[in-house]
Amino acid sequence: MGEPTHPSPPPQHTVPKHTMWKVILSCFLVAVYAAAQICPLPGPAFPAPQASVSGTAWDRATKKFLLGLKNVYHPDLNSQKDPAIDPDVISFTIQFYNARDSQPLFEYYHTATSARNNTIGVNKVDEDTVFRTASCSKVWTVLLLLIETGHATFHDPIVNYIPELREAIETRSNDRDFDELDLVSWDEVTIGELASQMSGIERQYGIGDLGLNAQLMESLGFPSLDDSDLPLCSLDPACTRAEFLSGILDRHPVFPVSSSPAYSNDAYQLLAYALETITGESYEELLNTRLIDPLGLSRSSFGKPDDQLGIIPVNSAGWDMDIGDVTPAGGIYSSTKDMTTVGRAILNHDLISPAETRRWLKPVAQTSEIGFLVGAPWEIFSLTKPRFISLYTKAGDIGNYSAMMGLSPDHAAGFTILAAGQGNTLAVMTIADLISKYLIPALDEVAKEEADDRFAGTYQCKSTNSSLIISTDDEPGLLITRWINNGKDILNVIPSLQLGPPPDTTDLRLFPAGLEYDGKLSFRSVSASGFGSGPNCGPITSACRSWMLVDGSIYGGIGMDEFVFETGTDGRAVGVSPRAMRVYLTKDSP
């Protein structure tokens, strides 16, 4: 019997180097059409300013803002040339602030000429003057919900928290001919859909129903209505809970649930009822104990404050309007200072965690305009200059009062605008346009100047013949102009590691990742590819896909795009680690 045989080992194949790279790069083919132009990561281009905002860029921006404001001061509210703010008939306040400074970065107060001799209310507005905040109240309502439950309840059906709606659904369950054209599928409507205007329910019950002015409507050609067609209630007095819930059960749906954004005040009245069920407290109690008292909001309230605290236009429509249970949607009274305090608390995560805040400051739905998205309850505008920046706002109107609050998460900054008088809505929108045109871009410039001071320079590890040179230029992000590791020029290597034709020049930039610990800050690098974006490229080939490349190339379990800066007590970088290279580079002294 011969020696036992063993299977031969498999033949050893040598994989050609170019084939190996094709195999590796096939793991992230989704990035094949990354455009050649600068393609930043979503989010901030530089860390938010750490020091007080000042300097040439900011001073220049505020001067341009004031000039722009002066240019829209004129009495012709119907002007076809420019938006108009008539200084004789409207009072307004503006504060622009960041998360770090206790005082506003910019503030402006104007009292209408017609209000300067007021005998009721103030005759000079300032940061403590009380206005009605209208639908900015919706932000406070969602904030209360997040304080109580976080996002945990956002997928819960509203019927879980409002017994009257559940009873109606149970009654309908025996009806085999449920008509989704005429009846809302309340068991499908969630807390999150109500908060983000995605519930598909009616705008508001009773308030503004033209059937309450039947004589006029019939004279215009509308049919007469039976009493059963009229709303059970409206304003003066406002609807009771029973009247409201009974009434909305007969309202037709606007859209199927979660199909399209449709603005609804009633959604927020339902959210307030849900909050009361969850906590066992009234909305007004929650407002006081969770927001007003902890933040020291001395000029904010559920109901009308003393007249002498507020600005009351000659035509005082809206000041003393009691909207009852609709208050969580649009009835809160507040001042510029208090509104700014709320915005700063959101940016600083004073009331909810950073993770909950990040979840909150995200879009939920797209409108028909590409640069206008909807959140909970944010109205999100996409600014394109100096780069793509998401501006989270909430605006509202009630009577002769208008308000807007806005947050720029990229800059940890925000603004408050309050207005009272004729032309209030146009005034607030015009001021917000000026802010987005001048002040938001200026913060980008300030952030770049500070980033250049903190991070730009030469970093070296002489023992390994490794170095890195970082600077800033006219584009977003920290630019790596030289990168040597173990004596090799990494910037020359990077194009060969990318799929597609190499670019003419290597452009490698660092963007904040938002991760910080013990004086260390994480950045991720983005490199342009060689694919074109000229006139023959369509929306698919020219789309910015940098987010799809993040952590796409790995070396020994660490992303090749991961960089961590170490900072000193003054916030300036003292070293950096391109972490895949397993090296620490010390910054040269200036």
Contacts 24+ apart (CB under 8 A), 240-249: 240/324, 240/325, 241/273, 241/325, 242/164, 243/206, 244/205, 244/206, 244/269, 244/325, 245/162, 245/164, 245/165, 246/164, 247/205, 247/206, 248/184, 248/201, 248/202, 248/205, 249/165, 249/168, 249/184
What DSSP letter does each residue of 52-103 carry, written as one string? PP-SHHHHHHHHHHHHHHHHTB-S-TT-SSS--B-TTTEEEEEEEEESS-SS
Give yes or no for a contact between 115 and 377, defined as CB atoms under 8 angstroms apart: no
Show the CA angle centred on residue 297, arms to residues 296 and 303, nearest 5°.
Answer: 135
| Nearest C-alpha neighbor of 568 from the set 587, 590, 541 | 587
Contact 576, 568 (CB under 8 A): no
Q: What is the DSSP letter of 227?
A: G
- What is the pTM (predicted TM-score) of this model? 0.91
* CATH 3.40.710.10 segments of the chain: 90-205+251-446
Residue labelled with tokens 């004086």: 519
Q: Per DSSP, what are the bridge partners of residue 471?
A: 479
The reported pLDDT for the residue numbered 13 is 45
For residue 479, give the nearest of 44, 46, 32 by alpha carbon: 46
Q: Is the bond preceding residue 305 a cis peptide, omega within 30 degrees?
A: no
- Strand 573-578 and strand 562-567: pairing? antiparallel
Spatial neighbors of 152 by CB under 8 A, at least 6 apart, are: none
CA distance 562 to 135: 42
What is the enclosing helix (H) or strand (E) of 524?
A: strand 520-527
What is the enclosing helix (H) or strand (E) of 512?
strand 508-517
Which pLDDT does position 18 carry in this prediction? 46
DSSP letters for 299-362 = T-BSS---GGGB---SS-TTTT---GGGHHHHT-EEEHHHHHHHHHHHHTTSSS-HHHHHHHSS
Distance (Å, rounded) from C-alpha 326 to C-alpha 338? 21
The pLDDT of residue 535: 63
- How far, in Å, CA of 462 to CA of 480, rounded? 18
| Residue 62 CB-density burial (10 A; 0-12 exposed, 13-18 middle, 19+ buried) | middle
* Cα atoms found within 13 Å of the Cα of residue 173, Cβ hemisphere only: 9
For the chain, how many helices (H) and strands (E)?
Answer: 17, 21
Homologous superfamily in CATH for domain 90-205+251-446: DD-peptidase/beta-lactamase superfamily (3.40.710.10)
Distance CA 377, CA 170 (A): 30
Which 8-state DSSP code applies to residue 262?
-
Per-position pLDDT tens, the chain of length 590: 444 444 444 444 444 444 444 433 333 333 333 334 688 999 999 999 887 777 788 999 999 999 999 989 876 656 656 667 999 999 999 999 999 999 999 999 999 999 999 889 999 999 999 999 999 999 999 999 999 999 999 999 999 999 999 998 888 766 666 688 889 999 999 999 999 999 999 999 999 999 999 899 999 999 999 999 999 999 889 999 999 999 999 999 999 999 999 999 999 999 999 999 999 999 999 999 999 999 999 999 999 999 999 999 987 779 999 999 999 999 999 999 999 999 999 999 999 999 999 999 999 999 999 999 999 999 999 999 899 999 999 999 999 999 999 999 999 999 999 999 999 999 999 999 999 999 999 999 999 999 999 999 999 999 999 999 999 999 999 999 999 999 999 998 887 776 555 555 678 999 999 999 999 999 999 987 545 556 667 888 778 888 998 998 899 999 999 999 999 999 999 999 999 999 999 999 87
Task: Count the neighbouring beta carbons within 10 Å of the beta carbon of residue 482.
Answer: 13
C-beta of residue 576 within 8 angstroms of C-beta of residue 585: yes
For residues 372 and 339, the answer to whether their CB atoms sit within 8 Å is no
> What is residue 382's three-state secondary structure?
strand
Q: For residue 290, give the DSSP letter.
A: I
